[in-house]
Amino acid sequence: MNANTVVLQLNIQLPHTAGALAALHDLVRAATAVPGAALSAEPVVPKPVVPVPVVPVPRKASESPRLVLDPESRRVVLRDEPLDLTRLEFDLLLHLCARPGKVHRRSSLMAQVWGMGEPPGSRTIDVHIRRLRVKLGPDGHHITTVRGVGYRFDGADLVTIGPLLSAG
């Protein structure tokens, strides 16, 4: 069995790998690529493959953040679109985003955002967190549940807290 046969079998068994294999081809010198055109195969990478670390690209100063919270106007913009939040959702998101990476205990969130202690058995915070995650869409996963403790916001590089810059 040669390298072309193995890759063709992978494409049949795992149809979603073709794009990844073609992308890896660009990382390898052309001299090491296995010719597959004769078999009508996509370009492939022979083994062994040396992984290349993926380094996050820092946001340029000219790029706008994905999430902007303006405490003074109490407005939120997500990916250049206004986000409609209730008063408590805004306060909760602002509290989490103002201290990214910090675990916020449920009792602390009730005291700081709601201004009261949490009644025993209350799911109030969980419901509001769930609604926030839904409204944030693909970015909702940045609100992380810390089991048995509370919640943490892990998207510090995605958010800006400050005045909204109006276009024009």
Q: Are residues 71 and 26 in the same domain?
A: no
pLDDT above 80: residue 38 = no
Q: Is residue 23 in a domain?
A: yes
Q: Is residue 49 in a domain?
A: no
Q: Are residues 32 and 95 in the same domain?
A: no
Q: Is residue 86 in a domain?
A: yes
In angstroms, the CA 75 to CA 94 distance is: 11
Q: Are residues 73 and 32 in the same domain?
A: no
Q: Is residue 131 in a domain?
A: yes
27 exposure class (CB count in 10 Å sphere: 0-12, 13-18, 19+)? exposed
What does each C-alpha distance from 111 to 56, 68, 72, 89, 98 come to in angstroms? 36, 24, 21, 15, 16
pLDDT above 70: residue 61 = no
Q: Are residues 150 and 84 in the same domain?
A: yes
Contacts of 84-90 with CB under 8 Å at 24 or more apart are: 84/135, 85/132, 85/135, 88/113, 88/114, 88/128, 89/128, 89/131, 89/132, 89/135
Q: Are residues 10 and 82 in the same domain?
A: no
Reported as a single tens digit per residue, the pLDDT across 90-102 is 999 999 999 999 9
Identify the top-confidence range among 37-46, 48-57, 158-167: 158-167
Owning domain of residue 34: 3-39
Q: Is residue 168 in a domain?
A: no
Q: Are residues 73 and 34 in the same domain?
A: no
Q: Is residue 57 in a domain?
A: no
Q: Is residue 50 in a domain?
A: no
Reported as a single tens digit per residue, the pLDDT across 3-20 is 444 444 444 444 444 444
pLDDT of residue 46: 57
The separation between CA 65 and the C-alpha centre of its own chain, rounded to angstroms, equals 13
In angstroms, the CA 101 to CA 153 distance is: 6
Q: Are residues 90 and 140 in the same domain?
A: yes
Q: Are residues 74 and 17 in the same domain?
A: no
The number of domains in the chain is 2
Q: How many residues does the chain have?
A: 168
Q: Are residues 87 and 143 in the same domain?
A: yes
pLDDT of residue 44: 57
Q: Are residues 30 and 86 in the same domain?
A: no
Q: Are residues 83 and 8 in the same domain?
A: no
Contact residues for 5 (Cβ-Cβ < 8 A; gap 6+): none
In angstroms, the CA 154 to CA 100 distance is: 6
Token pair for 111: 């005291």
Q: What is the mean pLDDT of the chain?
A: 75
pLDDT of residue 160: 92
The pTM score is 0.60
60 pLDDT band (50/70/90 cuts)?
A: low
Q: Is residue 74 in a domain?
A: yes
CATH of the domain at 150: 1.10.10.10
